[in-house]
Structure formats: C-alpha cells, structure tokens
Amino acid sequence: MSYLPYAVAAWICLVGIAGIATSRNLIHLAVCLTVTQSSSYVLLLSVGYVKHGVAPIFKGTKLGTPAVDPVVQALTLTDIVVSVAVVALILALALDAHRLSGKVDPDGLADVSG
C-alpha cells in the first residue's frame, strides 16, 4: 500500500505513452495525451499526502490540525485547466492537417506537400 499510488501513476503514464505511439487517429492521440498528463496529477497529489491529514482549508477546521500539502494542489489545479487549452491547440493542428491532406492518420501525414 505504501508504494501503490506511485506505481499507479507510473502505470498510467506508460499506458498513455503506448496509446500515443500506436494511435491511428490524431484526435485519439490528443486524448491519450490527456491520460498521460493525468498521471502527473496523481503523482503530485500522492507525494503531498499526509497520513490522517485534512484538506488545507481552514474555514471550519481549527488552525493547527495537520493538513496535506497545499503547494502540490496549487500546481495541480492550474495545470488541469491550462491543459484544456493545450489540448485544444493540438486538436486545432490536427484539424488543419486534416483540412490540408484529408487524413487524420498520423502515419499518412508524411507525404503532405504544399
């Protein structure tokens, strides 16, 4: 149990990378990229967890109760929202490639000319 969370994060990362490498569709590739990104969130939040800690919000809980790490939560929450825009950029590139070549297959894009 003590190393399970990190193993899960590593497993998700490897699964996502395998999905990206074997993808036949650029949109499927973008979603596999989001799966890989989620592995980093799982890792960050697992590293910051304090045993028997509460959430680091002190409205209602007394100051001084042991709480989990707020720094990794700050990193994670901004990253989740920003990754939507980055995936949108990747999908816009995929749409542009499809408009120019008629294919969404990453392997078929190699001979696009012009």
Partner 1 sequence: MTLAATLVPLQAVAFALVALGAPVVVLTRDPLRQALVNGVYGVSLVCLFVVLQAPDPALSMLVVSAVGYPLVILAAVARVRAERRGRAPREAAGKQDDSE
Partner 2 sequence: MSRRVRIALLGPALLGLGALFAWAVAGLPAFGDYRGPYGDLLNKVVVPLRHTTNVVMGTTFDVRGIDTMGEEFILYAAIVGVTLLLRDESGRRQVERRTRRLATDSVRLVGVVMVGGGLLVGLWLIAFGYITPGGGFQGGVLTAGAILLLYVVGSHRDYRPFRNEHVLDPLEGLGAGGYVVVGLAALASGSAFLTNLFGFGTPGKLLSGGSIAVLNWASAIAVTVAMLLLFAEFLETYVTPLEPKDAGS
Site residues (CB under 8 A) for partner 2, limited to 21-60: 21-22, 46-51, 53, 55-59
CB 9 within 8 A of CB 46: yes
* Cα–Cα distance, 80 to 36 (Å, whole number): 12
The total number of residues written for the chain in this structure:
114
Partner whose binding site includes residue 37, from partner 1, partner 2, none (CB under 5 to 8 Å by kind): none
Task: Compute the CA torsion angle 55, 72, 3, 35 (nearest 10 deg).
Answer: 110
Shortest Cβ 51–partner 2 spacing (Å): 3
**To which residue do tokens 């990747």 refer?**
90
Report the interface residues with partner 2, using CB under 8 A.
Answer: 1-7, 10, 13-14, 17-18, 21-22, 46-51, 53, 55-59, 63-64, 66-71, 73-75, 77-82, 84-86, 88-89, 91-93, 95-96, 99-103, 107-108, 111
